[in-house]
Amino acid sequence: MTQDNALPSAPTTAVGLGQPPAAGTPPDPAPETVLVVDDDPAIRLYLTALLTRWGLRVESVDNGEAALARLASGDIDLCLVDWIMPGMDGTEMLRRVRLDEGPVRVYMIMVTGRGGAEHIADGLAAGADDYVSKPVAPKELRHRVEAGLRLVRANKALADRNRVLEETNASLDAAGTRMRQDLEAARAIVAALLPKPAGTVGGMRYATLWRPFNHVGGDLIGVRPLNSRQTALYCIDVVGHGVTAALHATQVHQAITLAVIGHEQDVGRVARDPASIVADLNRHFLDRSDGSLNVAMTYGVFDAEDGTVALCVAGNPVPLLRGRDGDVRPAGRPGFPVGMLPMATYETEVVPISPGETLVIHTDGLSDHLGGGDGVVAVLGQPVADTGLPLPDPIMQGIRARCETVADDQHDDLSALLLTPC
């Protein structure tokens, strides 16, 4: 090799190898692989010698068909292609490479003895990324190879990041699917605790609204016959949203069920005062939680013989009584939420109710959704549509319809329990 072909000095990091790394530095990555495609063995030998001296792994072939077969393996990083070759020339080979290329683009440098902008443009149009003129000047070739390999490394890094992103997205999709399945299962479990959306029991007709903010929430409704004349009613709202609130709500449901069954399982036994039930629940949750389980609730007992509902309100909005003529008035008095204050006291208010009147027990999510207490009163005060259904079903239909018109503004669980004596 003549002095003109001696290697110019270049930074080690430009190609990947060169001077040994300093002590304590990580080893250089494996050298990139370059494929030399030229029918002239002397030029192949010359280019191979240069590239090998620069620390690259080099392979060579003497025709386009062999080059395509080698490139198909996918482990070639950069390719030097002669323009003029027998059989398949360089431009045809480039076109075929670009038509059937893997996810990482091979950097193609056309080696040509042809000059002129038109020939260079033809090579670039065929798929070349760069070109170098014959006779090949080592310094120029080295800089063009270095520039190409920088792009190759960047493309590989991008491909690696994309692969990691795809794997991460697939993992997130799988986790999201499992989470949705778990939420659907949790919703089914909570929904199984609810009464039917509407029904007749113990001398009264009832209708319910239960629409969690997410798949599940902290609201629950209960309608439970106690004996031949009395039916327990409750509407609870646990602080919070989502799965945690739903778990707490099921705890409250279980505690209410145990309190009711423990004292009112015998047919004919008179129901306990609702205030005493709520007071017991308050002590129960203060003794068994860290203070994070706060429950707004309304517990009541409908008595079909007396035509009354005994109500204890603990943190929920005060129930509303809709008269036959559509007038709406409060029924009950407010009280402290359950699980918040050891010294809280609770009161029962007995509300007379007769056929044609409807008692509305609800959580604050409904009043917030409808624009406050006045919004609930406005909806309840609307004339009842003649649907042929017994009360309170048409009233509940009106509530549902109004909730749907502002469905995008829902920020809390929505629950309501309506009852009308038969």
Long-range contacts of 255-258 (CB under 8 A, 24+ apart): 255/281, 255/284, 255/285, 256/222, 256/281, 256/299, 257/222, 257/224
Cβ pair 162, 156 in contact under 8 A: no
Outline which parts of the chain fall under CATH 3.40.50.2300: 3-165
Cβ pair 152, 107 in contact under 8 A: yes
pLDDT of residue 24: 53
Q: Is the pLDDT of residue 116 over 50?
A: yes
Q: Which residue has the higher pLDDT, 321 or 269?
A: 321
State the residue for tokens 């009354």.
308
Return the C-alpha torsion angle 123, 126, 129, 132, nearest 10: -20
Q: Is the pLDDT of residue 123 over 90?
A: no
pLDDT of residue 28: 60
Across the range 321-349, mean pLDDT stands at 93
pLDDT of residue 15: 42
Q: Is the pLDDT of residue 411 over 90?
A: no
- The winner for highest mean pLDDT among 66-80, 97-111, 233-247 is 66-80
Where is average pLDDT lowest: 67-81, 100-114, 331-345? 100-114
Confidence of residue 269 (pLDDT cuts 50, 70, 90): low
Q: Percent of the chain beyond pLDDT 90? A: 54
pLDDT of residue 405: 76
Tell me the pLDDT tens digit for each residue of 78-106.
999 999 899 899 899 999 999 887 767 89
pLDDT of residue 388: 85
Cβ pair 422, 204 in contact under 8 A: yes
Tell me the pLDDT tens digit for each residue of 176-233.
899 888 888 888 888 888 999 999 999 999 999 998 887 788 899 999 998 889 999 9
Outline which parts of the chain fall under CATH 3.60.40.10: 193-421
Task: Please give the mean pLDDT across all residues of the chain.
Answer: 86
Cβ pair 328, 336 in contact under 8 A: no
Query: Exposed, middle or buried, 228 (CB in 10 Å: 0-12/13-18/19+)?
Result: exposed
Instruction: Compute the 3-state secondary structure of the chain and give helix, strand, coil in percent, each to the nearest 5.
Output: 40, 20, 35
Tell me the pLDDT tens digit for each residue of 152-177.
999 889 989 999 999 999 999 999 89
Across the range 328-348, mean pLDDT stands at 93
- The winner for highest mean pLDDT among 2-16, 45-59, 241-255, 369-383 is 45-59
Q: Is the pLDDT of residue 10 over 80?
A: no
Residue range 3-165 forms a domain whose CATH class is alpha beta
Tell me the pLDDT tens digit for each residue of 271-292.
889 999 999 999 988 887 676 7
Query: Tokens at residue 362, please?
Result: 């609800």
Determine which helix (DSSP H) or strand (DSSP E) holds 61, and give its type and residue range: strand 57-61
State the residue for tokens 């959306």.
197
Confidence of residue 261 (pLDDT cuts 50, 70, 90): low
Q: Which of these CATH numbers, 3.40.50.1860, 3.40.47.10, 3.60.40.10, 3.40.50.970, describes 193-421? A: 3.60.40.10
Across the range 138-142, mean pLDDT stands at 94
Confidence of residue 294 (pLDDT cuts 50, 70, 90): confident
Alpha-carbon distance of 276 to 260, in angstroms, equals 11
Across the range 370-378, mean pLDDT stands at 88
Confidence of residue 122 (pLDDT cuts 50, 70, 90): confident
